[in-house]
Amino acid sequence: MSERPSAPPGAGAGDHRGAVAALALGVVAALAFMPAVPDHRSGPVAFAAASTPPAEGAGSSVTVLGDGSTSDTGPQPAQPPAARLKPGEVPPQFVVLSFDAPTEDDDHLFSRARTAAKMNGAEVTFFLRGVDLLPATKRWQYQPPQHEVGTAAVPFPTDTQVRATLQQLGRAWLDGDEIASGFIGQFCGPKGGRDWSTADWQSEISQGYSMVNFWKTGTGFADLPPLPFDYQTELAGGRAPCLEGRQNLLPAEKDAGWRYDASSPGDVQRWPAQTDGLWDFPLQRIAFGAGEILSTDQTTQTYLNAFYRVYRGNRAPLVIDTDLDPRHAPRLQAAETTMKDLCHRDGVRCVSFRQLADWLDAQDPTVLNRLRTLDPTGAPNWAAVAGP
């Protein structure tokens, strides 16, 4: 097991500003991946326009951040207002579509999923992994908890794949999609997430921030434009590999200021609740034959059955997850077909996890408590549920 540097007790914003200044003075790329969450917005760093072209698709007002890897281009497009339910109003039928492992490789599954969402009026969540932006030639920059430096449980991408992934990330955000955290090394089982301490998860989260905030330093791709968003403020939640280690993960997520966790291993189709201030968005157990199955990588008909169960019942959000690993490529077709069918229906809103959290935050807590008591297949009296 390798030694990992850690932030000293009481380290704060001043230490973060110092780290950024050091990067600006040309400290080696490895320092960009020290496990301390950097506040790159406050560093006295300036970059010449020639080395930092404008963010792709950005408007006239662009503030380049940090080493030129990210930028502030204003509010994210395509974000619906979060309105409180009116007395007696039926809640929207939310359909949350998320995609794991968004590496743009030769199969082009990332761009395919992004395009399908845009064509069908859906905003979706992409769980970006740190390895998606770390080329194999630079893998030594990752210091995984309880594992050797430069190792991961999944392959590191090529330079070409990282470049293509960066392009798709910018376009996804401009489409209105959420860029959430899928963490980095995808370690499961012994010495993986289930064995990690809160400090281990904090290291994983901090390194994940740095891999996005400083991808130019980490990859050396100085010719590419910055991403059109500030990852430091945009990141709102994540999903742990193999849905493991949640007990020690939640304090780390809360410490990072996240708003939700999507790492629960499965629950019935009910309205979400909070755990220690974080919205709990589990993968759902949906009907399959005489039993139930997790709502990930399923068939179109299975998803439609799960949709009708709540659409005619408690209107709880339906969560659909798809792994963009090429080995699961046929499952993407099911997600695409489901989007095409459901996202155009009256009363249905295909949203990201962050947008769902926005809507939940806007509701009357008393009404939310009533929603949580509803059975998935019941026939609610909406006048009473959403009443005064």
Average pLDDT over residues 147-164: 97
| pLDDT computed for residue 195 by the predictor | 97
Average pLDDT over residues 360-382: 95
| pLDDT computed for residue 79 by the predictor | 96
User: What band does 59 get if pLDDT is binned at 50, 70 and 90?
Assistant: low
Average pLDDT over residues 199-218: 98
Average pLDDT value for the chain = 87
Rounded to whole angstroms, the maximal C-alpha distance in the chain is 64
- Alpha carbons 358 and 75: distance in angstroms, whole number: 15
Give 209: exposed, middle or buried? Use CB within 10 Å, 0-12, 13-18, 19+.
buried
pLDDT surpassing 50 at residue 241: yes
pLDDT surpassing 60 at residue 139: yes
pLDDT in tens, 257-302: 999 999 998 888 999 999 999 999 999 988 887 788 889 889 999 9
User: What band does 52 get if pLDDT is binned at 50, 70 and 90?
Assistant: low
pLDDT surpassing 90 at residue 124: yes
Average pLDDT over residues 151-173: 98
Reported for 324-328, long-range contacts at CB under 8 A and 24+ positions apart, including other chains, are 324/99, 324/100, 324/101, 324/102, 324/103, 324/109, 324/110, 324/113, 325/100, 325/101, 326/105, 326/107, 326/109, 328/297
Average pLDDT over residues 296-312: 93
Average pLDDT over residues 148-168: 97
pLDDT surpassing 90 at residue 203: yes
| pLDDT computed for residue 192 by the predictor | 96
User: What band does 35 get if pLDDT is binned at 50, 70 and 90?
Assistant: very low
User: What band does 50 get if pLDDT is binned at 50, 70 and 90?
Assistant: very low
- What one-character-per-residue DSSP string does 200-255 give? HHHHHHHHHHHHHHTHHHHH--TTSPPBSS-HHHH--EE--GGG--HHHHHHHHHH
pLDDT in tens, 74-114: 999 999 999 999 999 999 999 999 999 999 999 999 999 99
Give the number of other Cβ atoms within 10 Å of residue 50's Cβ. 6
pLDDT surpassing 50 at residue 232: yes
Average pLDDT over residues 318-325: 94
Range with the poorest average pLDDT among 192-196, 284-288, 297-301, 363-367: 284-288
Range with the poorest average pLDDT among 50-54, 310-314, 350-354, 362-366: 50-54
Task: Dig out the tokens for 210 from the structure.
Answer: 């740095």
| pLDDT computed for residue 40 by the predictor | 38
Q: What type of residue is 77? A: P
Q: Which residue has the higher pLDDT, 43 or 196?
A: 196
- CATH of region 13-385: 3.20.20.370
Cα–Cα nearest to 259, from 161, 357, 133 = 357
Contact 70, 40 (CB under 8 A): yes
- Alpha carbons 54 and 40: distance in angstroms, whole number: 18
Phi first, then psi, for residue 136 (nearest 5°) are -55, -35
| pLDDT computed for residue 54 by the predictor | 74
pTM of the predicted model, to two decimals? Answer: 0.87
| pLDDT computed for residue 9 by the predictor | 33
Q: Where are the domains of the chain?
A: 13-385
Cα–Cα nearest to 163, from 91, 118, 212, 219 = 219
Average pLDDT over residues 300-321: 95
pLDDT surpassing 70 at residue 329: yes
Contact 306, 269 (CB under 8 A): yes
313-330 burial code (b ≥16 CB/10 A, e <16): bbbbbbbbbbbbbeeeee
